[in-house]
Amino acid sequence: MSSVTLTNIVKRFENFAAVHKTSLEIPEGAFVTLLGPSGCGKTTTLRMIAGLLDPTEGEIMIKGRRVNDVPIHKRNLGLVFQNYALFPHKTIAENVAFGLKYRGVPKDEAKRRVQDALDLVQLPDVGERYPRQLSGGQQQRIALARAIVIEPDVLLLDEPLSALDANLREDMRVELKRIQERIGVTTIFVTHDQSEALAMSDQIVVMSEGRVEQVGPPEEVYNTPASEFVANFLGASNILDARCTGREADDYIIEAETFGRMQVPVKKAPNLSGEGLAKLVVRAEKLQLASRDRPADGALAVDGTVETVDYQGQAVRYFVRVGARQLQAINMIDERPFPEGAEVSLRLRPRDCAALPVS
């Protein structure tokens, strides 16, 4: 069953189309992320679902009910924004209870539901405090408690973690996913952070310039990108010119710039129709550096020279010159990384690649 359905949604601001003919089916109980760069239309889409913006064209359905003309306060949605939007003059308990008050929930039940929500976000004893007495991470949890206490049909989260520091943001994304799974509420999450989307989502909707580029589970979107934009936006990729010269059983035969002839599984090239120009997508972490005298063990191998070393602790990102091309490789390390100027061999397994048609 679909919890939220968008059908041919368009949003124009005068002559600018922020969202173009977007259709989505968001399953009941799923955690779905709208992912893309600034200005791609993800927040505009969320605000139309919320009722904060009216669509120019198309239809929005929530729980089987058309809501285009239904005001925000009658859509039974939980909203969490980047800036928390807590009332500074109200206690935490009063903040969390705000939505219940306007729904006419009896005081005893409201008190119980507020405490249940505070327990769920693991802040059971802060009800009498004020927002200024809490940290940023704690305020974010209170904003979440206020959103879920009304038992919403859909929870809408607009970049709720972006104001937090890196370590706290990682902790909060784990906590947020735990809470969502426990209560089972359909959740639509907006972010431009690829790691958040990959870690938290049941499905990712990748958007660019107001259009949906790809929808799918994180593993599918990451490993089998549907377009060059998705391949470049989600993770670090090398996009190589190539040509498909035919098919053998379950593999396409690809002649790729730099690496030559290889066999790429058909399932890693679902949009390739057959012979013709193509693009080979090689994720940076799938390129392994090795000493030139080390056996390739069946992998494709090309020689290169390390030009730049970006040390990241457990991993290192290398920029390696191979002929006229510079390739990125991200490798885990347990000793010293290869230094700049090192003569290395780059190793690649064709089954780790994906292929795209040339649009």
Q: What is the pLDDT of residue 179?
A: 92
First to last CA, the chain: 34
pLDDT of residue 81: 87
DSSP string, 238-272: EEEEEEEEEEETTEEEEEETTTEEEEEEGGG-TT-
In angstroms, the CA 110 to CA 3 distance is 26
pLDDT-derived band at 335 (thresholds 50, 70, 90) equals confident
pLDDT of res. 28:
95
Do 236-283+353-357 and 284-347 share a fold? yes
**Do 281 and 225 touch, CB atoms closer than 8 A?**
yes
Cα–Cα dist 152/168, whole Å: 26
Measured in whole angstroms, how far is the alpha carbon of residue 271 from the centre of its chain?
22
Residue 196, exposed/middle/buried by CB under 10 A (0-12, 13-18, 19+)? buried
- Across 15-19, 106-110, 320-324, 355-359, least confident range: 355-359
pLDDT digits (tens, 9 = 90+) for 130-158: 999 999 889 989 999 999 999 999 999 99
Q: Is 258 left (phi over 0), alpha (psi -120 to 50) or beta?
A: left
Specify the DSSP element, H or E, that contains 219.
Answer: helix 218-223
Question: For the residues 296-310, what does the mean pLDDT come to?
Answer: 93
For the domain covering 284-347, report its CATH number.
2.40.50.140
Domain definitions of the chain by residue range: 2-223, 236-283+353-357, 284-347
Two structure tokens written together for 193: 């952070």
The β-bridge relationship of strands 211-216 and 203-208 is antiparallel
Q: Is residue 168 exposed (0-12), middle (13-18) or buried (19+ Cβ within 10 Å)?
A: middle
Domain 236-283+353-357 grouped into CATH 2.120.10: no
Which CATH number is 2-223 given? 3.40.50.300
Q: What are the tens digits of pLDDT across the range 232-258?
A: 999 899 999 999 999 988 999 999 988
Query: Of 154, 103, 91, which is closest to residue 128 (Cα–Cα)?
Result: 91
Q: 41-45, 117-121, 188-192, 268-272: which range is least confident on average?
A: 268-272
Cβ–Cβ under 8 Å, residues 315 and 261? no
Query: Which pLDDT does position 163 carry in this prediction?
Result: 78
Question: Residue 202's Cα: distance from chain center in Å?
Answer: 10
Q: Is the pLDDT of residue 5 over 90?
A: yes
Is the confidence at residue 212, as pLDDT, over 90?
A: yes
pLDDT in tens, 62-92: 999 999 999 998 999 999 988 878 999 999 9
What does the DSSP assignment read for 113-143?
HHHHHHHHTT-TT-TTS-GGGS-HHHHHHHH
Specify the pLDDT at position 168: 84
Instruction: Quote the crossing angle between the two packed helices 136-148 and 166-183, to the nearest 10°.
Output: 20
